[in-house]
Structure 1
Amino acid sequence: MSAFGTVFMPEMALARFEDNQWTPTEFVPSDSLTLHPGAHVLHYASTCFEGLKAFRHADGSVNIFRMDANIRRMEQSTQLLNLPAFDQAQLREMIIEGVRRFADQVPDAPGSMYIRPTHIGTDAAIGKAAAPSENSLLYVLLSPVGDYFAGGGKALTLLLEENGMRCAPHMGVVKSGGNYASALGPILSAKAEYDADQVLFCPNGDVQETGAANFLLIDGDEVITKGLDSTFLHGITRDSILTIARDMGMTVSERDLTVDELIERASKPGAEAALSGTAAVLTPVGRLIRHGKVINVGTEQTFEKTVKLRRALNEVQWGQAEDKHGWLTPVA
């Protein structure tokens, strides 16, 4: 089986911002782009992207999950990177029409069609280190993907990093490639030295996020996660899981969480921890590593509430439960 996100549909939707206006959307081959070697994105990281999914329901219909929330977040990233503003309606139609064209390639649940809108600065100007790109390119890739848990969803081990940050504090809210690049070194070091799966960035003891996912602590019927600010990514899956938790009658606490409180609560019997993201939805965390010491999360590690929350969200995505919050957009 091909690795997640390595198979692409043969065409992608594309639009360019040139001469102070957006071109009409066109569908072009998805195997290449032509960029000047001096393109702003290649030197000054003027790039942002989104990740969302379309799902096939049992009745054969295809539905995109939380598309409008992803478009709003991409608009925010675009603004904070000072890229040319795009028309939300145009991007919406690029996504819908792309999925519609390849609706027959959307896998049955638990598989899905992964959707990757991308916005990059294209000015050929290597002297613009302190100036934005006036021209840009917006495109939407489609990639059919299988079940993230096909090989068994093992609990993750996280190394707590209390000194460094995932990225610059004012950039945390931007879904930009540079943020992932800056986290890669610490992640690889954690894997090599501690056999950890990810790094949980906790600068000055403030529990934030991992290199590619939001972090949640589940203590009894309470879900605790950092309150929204500019230092970390505002995950759409995070928001969805918290909404479902509230629907289930759980208490959701969006607030600062210190490493000391995390260790104290995570060590209790029945405690759970999880990472939320588009690919895996909600993945259990079984171990934390701090100062070389391994701390087991909970005791029995059945991950009952994590699995329950993930299943509840999947059932909405797969059309097996009521879409009470209007998260699905039918396209075919």
Structure 2
Amino acid sequence: MVNINWDELGFSYMKTPFRYLSHWKNGEWDEGSLTEDNQLHISESSPALHYGQQCFEGLKAYRCKDGSINLFRMDQNAKRFNQSGSRLMMPHLPEEKFMDAIKQVVLANHEYVPPYGTGGTMYIRPLLIGVGDFMGIGAAPEYIFTVFCMPVGLYFKGGLKPTNFLISDYDRAAPVGTGAVKVGGNYAASLLPGTEAKKRSFSDCIYLDPQTHTKIEEVGSANFFGITKDNQFITPTSPSILPSITKYSLLYLAKERLGMEAIEDDVYLNELDKLSEAGACGTAAVITPIGGIQNGEEFHVFHSEEEVGPVTEKLYNELIGIQFGDIEAPKGWITNLTVEK
């Protein structure tokens, strides 16, 4: 057994024994395999380094009460991974290859999946990068697909309790740029705004739509949702928003499990008083309740700065109950892995 204090896990890198590695060259993928080497060996002229030709994913593995391990909707990660890759002219990765790599990595490192009841999970990072000797501005001649993992705790410290966010003066993405795909450049551009928000004691910043700056689009590291005062679940719609798997799961659960009207629509900054609750959601964040939003000199408080809203709490409990195997999942959402003893 590994010697880890599961109660003190943060959201940081930890080297685990195995990761998956596969190369694309001459128009095809090799078979791929597990390796213990956590260093990628690439050409100094790799397009991933110079021109940002890379994309990634994030998903989690959850320890169930019976000791087995759940993977949550990884087929959706596989689809989104290829959507991101296609936007940057990278080769298609068969979805079965993606999912098989995830399974191999999780099972090879199963001792690092935190025990049931600790609240910890295993975070899994698939990555696709353009490599090879190439100096022109164009698609790389070769590619590396890799998957690594590590045990993690909560992304935002404090667990399920409200935290405050700051409206950013920066734009996250161009109106028809790469905002809807999971590529590194979007996150590099968010470092400065996010750091400035944290210096002012906010958890992160919230970005507005880049064309009019009147509508909420995304939280820096997650999607935004709100609960209206007439019991409607609403999340922003925009071609610049990353299609969060957690967000779409919550849209489904709000409608099918809680009986709410659940929609994607514009969320105007000047209409925040229509919302009784708000939150940020994503694989890393899960659900983070938003206590208040600072917009210039104005500070808008939702349900409470201190208490989690009742609908947000129900959605959180439903979601993590499904992920950890305590609540029946919708068909196709869970892949359960049995660990051989």
2:330 equivalent among 306, 320, 324: 324
Matched residue type, 1:65: F
2:125 equivalent among 104, 116, 119: 116
Aligned to 2:239: 230
Which sits farther off after the overlay, 45-54 or 20-29?
Answer: 20-29
Please say if 1:284 is aligned against 2:289. Answer: yes
Q: Percent identity?
A: 34
Shift of 1:147: 4.9
Aligned to 1:258: 268
Please say if 1:201 is aligned against 2:207. Answer: yes
TM-score of the aligned structures, taking structure 1 as reference length: 0.92
| SS of match in other structure, 2:66 | coil
Where does 1:292-303 land on structure 2 (aligned, <5 Å)?
Answer: 292-299=297-304, 301-303=307-309
| SS of match in other structure, 2:217 | coil
Shift of 1:324: 2.2
Deviations 1:272-298 (A, max 9, x none): 110001123110001111122212123
Deviations 1:26-78 (A, max 9, x none): 11124211111111101101111111111111111112111100000001001
Aligned to 1:92: 99
Aligned to 1:213: 222
Q: For structure 1, which runs of at least 5 residues remain unmatched after alignment?
A: none
Q: For structure 2, which runs of at least 5 residues remain unmatched after alignment?
A: 1-7
Where does 1:123-162 land on structure 2 (aligned, <5 Å)?
Answer: 123-128=132-137, 131-147=138-154, 151-161=158-168
C-alpha distance 3-279 of structure 1, shift in aligned 2 (>3 A): same
Shift of 1:148: 5.1
C-alpha distance 18-290 of structure 1, shift in aligned 2 (>3 A): same
Contact 1:166 1:210 in 2 (8 A): no
Shift of 1:153: 3.5
Deviations 1:273-326 (A, max 9, x none): 100011231100011111222121235744221111011000001111111232
Where does 1:163-202 land on structure 2 (aligned, <5 Å)?
Answer: 164-169=170-175, 170-192=177-199, 194-202=200-208
C-alpha distance 147-215 of structure 1, shift in aligned 2 (>3 A): closer
Please say if 1:76 is aligned against 2:83. Answer: yes
1:20 equivalent among 27, 30, 54: 27
Please say if 1:239 is aligned against 2:248. Answer: yes
Contact 1:171 1:230 in 2 (8 A): no
Please say if 1:306 is aligned against 2:316. Answer: no
Q: 2: CA distance between counterparts of 1:226 and 1:165?
A: 16
TM-score of the aligned structures, taking structure 2 as reference length: 0.89
C-alpha distance 2-330 of structure 1, shift in aligned 2 (>3 A): closer
Q: How many residues align?
A: 322
| SS of match in other structure, 1:171 | coil
